[in-house]
Structure 1
């Protein structure tokens, strides 16, 4: 081997070692993907110091997309970086961006397309200078350009530098894509936080833990603020999960009684044998185990507000004693013989149709009129147009903090949530968001995640269709919690359903889970209209109404309709 050949062989070996060193060092910095300035700056420095590819720059589109600018560079002054601005298609850099093709300028002094815009010729070495530019690709589409100068007369062949620049461009593309993802996620979180901040600052409702901007919710809110300064008894009507206790607290906190106690009792959660003592208290020795006198909730709430949830489940004999409280503002403790004066405002709530209960003899008419002085209807979530997205963002933030996650909704998730019927109302939505945060991969809640969770909701209702008992811990209402509030209920449908006209559920033809619902006479027109629209096809008609075929047939039979 001649001396010249030996030198060439040694030069090739040195070049290969240099390339491996640059790639090895660059990949080590990929662990710092959250800091693109540092990572890309180090890559460009390696190219310059080890391989002589000097003044490296990464040129990316600006916000307008019409121009490109030097975003990252090594060996360029701030003025040079500022001057490095090109239209797409302009100069060598602009052409690489437009075509996605590599550009090799053997001599910048002999290439008319080369603009010498960023770096003036006098700044460069006097010998022949080459310029190399390769596209930074994202799925075969140019997202930027990596360029560098080099002295043309060097032992390293140009094609090896081009190959090295291609490798570095691929690594830079990865850094940029991760940075874009982080920016997108951060922007989404910032937008959600700003939306929540605006809601908290602009809505009085939010100060009481009630989020929403829909007309139906605002109407309930206005009624609540209108009656709260008075001493009037309030009856809150609404499905389970609509926030009745929050509204009751708002009445209390915006009333002259706000400094007094607020006591809440769920009449359906305490056995009848214990409820009387819980409400009215007892004297010592009134029954086995009554070793001392005890004040009841009515007495403890004196000077403040007593909230009686699920008032429709109050035993008939206790209804008369509650009526006595409303009329006389006195109580009798269990085992007591004297009146105990109280000063209490009562707010009652129910998901049941109390008028229907009165007609059936299950609820005292005189107590009904005493409670129904100022009724307020709390809208179901499906009646609150636009509020699902606002609530979903709020619950996402709360759940992320609770579970120490940093979750974000993928595009399309909020629309899917808004299309669902939410038979379990706000409580169900909160439950679904919590599960979504827990199952999210890489911090993203996808539409597929939501579909899977809603399918699980459907499985719960399928259990009811098969005759199973509802799970008391489930987020959807059970047999004692019919979603229909209107008169004319003919009986419970053991197949959960949606109201006619509600949005269909899964795109696969199976509606999402529906609450355990009562069949209502006012559904008849919608059922027949759906049949007519589908030419008598019950399966298609059911799908249009967000029901299963079994639910649809059950309603036809219960309402005595003949659908062909």
Structure 2
């Protein structure tokens, strides 16, 4: 029965209860601890005993006691109701307050959780109020009380309604946290599963058909000693593919040696590849073996082979034909047992036609051509890689971030001319610059807008004295930032620029027109620190 009686409560006492309840609910997000503590307050300070919070199950057809104070475990387990059943079911169904002044005289009172013999012999009442969320009943807060008390029923209803609203917000927060946690766990589980499935592919993450086809082909040719030419845009993972081929080959356990032909000046590349004898040139204070010798028994990976000069191409051809090297300044042939894998983002066939690449070398290298698909062709892999990089960088930078709505779809719609390397940079920048706990679509949009202007800026003529062909870079609009041959730098020039930049290597590299890796290489070669 519903009642409307005048309030006869103690405002100070109710204020104390609400203050304590707010403190308890704000102290912890663990509802199983805070809600029973609030129900204990209602029992001890307001005489509202055996409080219980009844919530629907996953199907929404059953109601059960989830939190309680003053009920035994068996009584809690017995407190299960159908929607609309009894007083509790009625309040849940209608969203209306219900007061039973005498439970012995109310046929709808079920005595489901607590048997009558357990209750006091006096007239016992029951008060139930709905827990409302978004104007809809989400649960029921119910309590017993002795009917003959100076405190009016309406005072209890007023107090319980406020407490129910506080409990409702606690449940809402708990639900949001659970959903967010579940979402993160699902993302992590998907990432773990993907990593487990891809672990044998040596860091090559993806599930798209074009990538799996390339992986299958690479695995198939790994067992032979044939020369493999990896073709693909910058940032598609050519070195990872080369390492995978090596690990799947009979040469596993032997050296895997990598040279980036575009990152090493032309005069130094020959010495890097073939080695040199003591006194062969200024600064050659001792003999040194080259990378071809160091790879003996294993695999030599020549990245960006298209940047190699014609003179050095002829010496590489001899290495492939005779499997021997001759150090600079020496006259002795050194036999090596190596497998050669090459890679280039350039069209070497076009280089042959233009006279910048030897035809005979091209045929020697192009025994097994293997095309690596750009990221924009790999359906579904952008989202997988984005989650992987998010997981990596949140751990590295000690942040707890998630991807907001629309982020994945925006990432998937971007052309990714820089491929995986560009996506990795974008995700790390997002992790470092996002101020909230969620990377929103607007954050990603801002970063991608900056990425889109890079191609426009490179169309301007480069005015630096070292002659890096920035205008040439625009000839490769679909390959991101291609490697370019860079001008030589002498030790004195490097030292002067470093001093002018006060040791800032990033700024020095920018002034010299070098990448950070190219500058680092020169500093090591000239012994500069």
Same fold (TM over 0.5): yes
Asked if 1 retains the 8 angstrom alpha-carbon contact of 2:234 and 2:480, the reply is no
Shift of 1:423: 1.9
- Residue equivalent to 1:336: 330
**Quick one: distance in 1 between partners of 2:61 and 2:413?**
38
TM-score, structure 1 normalization: 0.78
Shift of 1:516: 7.1
Gaps of 5+ in 2: 1-5, 464-469, 483-529
Shift of 1:27: 2.0
1:191 aligns with one of 186, 194, 197: 186
2:110 aligns with one of 109, 115, 125: 115
Gaps of 5+ in 1: 1-7, 471-477, 483-490, 498-513, 518-564
**What per-residue deviation string (whole Å, max 9, x for no partner) do you get for residues 70-114 of structure 1?**
111111122221222223333322232233332223332333333
Give secondary structure in 2 for the equivalent of 1:47.
Answer: helix
Give secondary structure in 1 for the equivalent of 2:283.
Answer: coil
- Residue equivalent to 1:160: 155
- Is structure 2 residue 218 aligned with structure 1 residue 224? yes
Shift of 1:45: 0.8
Shift of 1:481: 6.4
The 3 A distance-change label for structure 1 pair 481 and 117 is farther
Give secondary structure in 1 for the equivalent of 2:64.
Answer: strand
Asked if 2 retains the 8 angstrom alpha-carbon contact of 1:136 and 1:173, the reply is yes
TM-score, structure 2 normalization: 0.83
Q: Which has the higher contact order (CA 8 A, sep 6+)?
A: 2
Shift of 1:205: 4.2
Shift of 1:248: 0.5
**Quick one: distance in 2 between partners of 1:422 and 1:60?**
48
Equivalent positions of 1:124-523 (< 5 A) are: 124-203=119-198, 205-206=200-201, 208-440=202-434, 443-464=437-458, 467=460, 491=475, 515=480
The 3 A distance-change label for structure 1 pair 429 and 327 is same
Give secondary structure in 2 for the equivalent of 1:349.
Answer: strand
2:65 aligns with one of 67, 70, 77: 70
- Residue equivalent to 2:100: 105
**Quick one: distance in 2 between partners of 1:469 and 1:55?**
80
**Quick one: distance in 1 between partners of 2:302 and 2:34?**
62
**Quick one: distance in 2 between partners of 1:199 and 1:492?**
32
Aligned residues: 472
**Quick one: distance in 1 between partners of 2:450 and 2:53?**
48
Shift of 1:32: 3.7
**Quick one: distance in 2 between partners of 1:160 and 1:447?**
49
**Quick one: distance in 2 between partners of 1:291 and 1:515?**
40
Shift of 1:442: 5.1
**Quick one: distance in 1 between partners of 2:253 and 2:32?**
56
- Is structure 2 residue 48 aligned with structure 1 residue 56? no
**What per-residue deviation string (whole Å, max 9, x for no partner) do you get for residues 205-263 of structure 1?**
44x11111111111111111111111111111111111111110011111111111111
Shift of 1:308: 0.9
Give secondary structure in 1 for the equivalent of 2:386.
Answer: helix
**What per-residue deviation string (whole Å, max 9, x for no partner) do you get for residues 114-160 of structure 1?**
33322222222222222222222223332222111111221222222
Asked if 2 retains the 8 angstrom alpha-carbon contact of 1:262 and 1:304, the reply is yes
The 3 A distance-change label for structure 1 pair 412 and 132 is farther
**Quick one: distance in 2 between partners of 1:201 and 1:296?**
37
- Is structure 2 residue 16 aligned with structure 1 residue 21? yes
- Residue equivalent to 2:518: none
The 3 A distance-change label for structure 1 pair 463 and 111 is farther
Root mean square deviation of aligned Cα:
2.6
**Quick one: distance in 2 between partners of 1:450 and 1:468?**
29
Shift of 1:327: 0.7
**Quick one: distance in 2 between partners of 1:40 and 1:332?**
81
